[in-house]
Amino acid sequence: MKFSTKVIHGGQKPEESTGSVMPPIFQTSTYAQSSPGEHKGYAYSRSANPSRTALEKALAAIENANYGFAFSSGLAAIDCVLRLLKPGDEVIAGDDLYGGTYRMFTRLFEKYGLQFKYVDMDSVSNVSAAISNQTKLVWIETPTNPLMKIADIEEISNAVKSQNKDILIAVDNTFATPYIQQPLDLGVDIVMHSATKYIGGHSDLVMGALMVNTEEIAKELHFIQFAAGAIAGPMDSFLALRGIKTLDVRMQRHCENGIAVANFLKNHPKVGKVYFPGFESHPNYNVAKKQMRDFGGMVSFKLKDERKEATFKFLENIKLFTLAESLGGVESLANHPVTMTHGSIPEEDRLKIGITDSLVRLSVGIENIEDLLQDLDQALKA
């Protein structure tokens, strides 16, 4: 099936007992057993729930995976991946990460004995050079949050596996979505999504997802999820499954509006640098063009006036864009990374890679593009 068909039908079928086209919300914690240990595949909803099962089959389908898992949040999904490791193991990650991921790495798992190296993944050689005998996981985020850096997924996978085939490679695919890129097809072991974002698509749920192909990894992840309990509930599973059905058409508009906003900002006299992988001037444009179907709806930029006051004035004057956390909903959002999504990263580390007070991250929604551009223009001129 092509992707636009797969989001509607992939891994999905009418509910068997009633023929319901959409899987019902099985709002239950437990299930009747005909005899001890004999049941219809469900015993307790922490282990499995029919609403979550329906979603997980759809998640697997859209990432060309054999197995999908739905979690209570994106960070819960990352936590599950890190629990595959043991004290003394090493993780290599990009130097530009979502602030919550960085916070989990540094303030939780370093305390539990994991070691982390941060490298610029623009260059595959930086990843190869960082690998040691302790390396057990390479964590890739591409495009990165918020600087829109691009890592060559296939080249990194090949380089890492050639050095040590047992090193796991995971990709945070939240910004791109399966519509734009499918990392499992490029050689990685695990794909992670904050399904709160584009997969849900309507800013009405919090959820994470993992997709894998290997049965051995799938069994380990399922055990960790079952034992730790970080599961998606049935109502959120229903909402996410509904979101998946419109992912293809939503992403088309997100991408169209994203490049229009990026070009508008690039040509605006009050805007300095614009971070967008669809520009030929982007240092990894060729990689983005190779591995991505389109360039997405995320755009970051800095004003020429780099004072914090100027940035705050712009953010206080937007009207159609909403100043808020998160991204990937049908509505356009503006974010100030230093005070919001990346506030947990120490200032010295933020400044080192370019996350300054003047940086603004936009999640470009699916509204009329003329209305969006007019709102940005009036806020920049205010």
Q: Quick check: is 46 catalytic?
A: yes
Q: Whole-angstrom Cα distance, residue 54 to residue 24?
A: 10
Q: Quick check: is 31 catalytic?
A: no
Q: Quick check: is 197 catalytic?
A: yes
Catalytic residue selected from 197, 250, 350, 361: 197
Which helix (H) or strand (E) is 333 found in, with range?
A: strand 333-335
Q: Quick check: is 198 catalytic?
A: no
Catalytic residue selected from 96, 122, 152, 172: 172
Alpha-carbon distances of 159 from 124, 134, 140, 154, 371, rounded to whole Å: 8, 17, 14, 9, 45
Q: Is 185 helix (H, G, I), strand (E, B) or coil?
A: helix
Catalytic residue selected from 46, 57, 242, 313: 46
Q: How many CA atoms lie within 13 A of 125 on its CB side?
A: 0
Nearest to residue 104, comparing CAs of 73, 143, 127?
73
Q: Whole-angstrom Cα distance, residue 212 to residue 220?
A: 11
What token pair was written down for 309? 């006051």
What token pair was written down for 376? 């940005």
Q: Which ranges of 24-176 does DSSP label H, i.e. alpha helix?
A: 50-62, 74-82, 99-104, 124-130, 153-163
What token pair was written down for 291? 């591995």
Catalytic residue selected from 98, 118, 198, 275: 98
Q: Whole-angstrom Cα distance, residue 72 to residue 75?
A: 8
Q: Indicate the pairing of strand 168-172 with strand 190-194.
A: parallel
Q: Whole-angstrom Cα distance, residue 329 to residue 239?
A: 13
Q: Whole-angstrom Cα distance, residue 333 to residue 202?
A: 12
Q: Give the CA angle between residues 113, 117, 123 to the nearest 5°.
A: 155
- Non-local CB neighbours of 142 within 8 Å, separated by 6+ positions: 94, 121, 149, 150, 151, 153, 171, 172, 175, 176
If you count DSSP H runs as helices and E runs as strands, how many of each does the chain have, helices first?
14, 12
Which residues are catalytic, by number? 46, 98, 172, 197
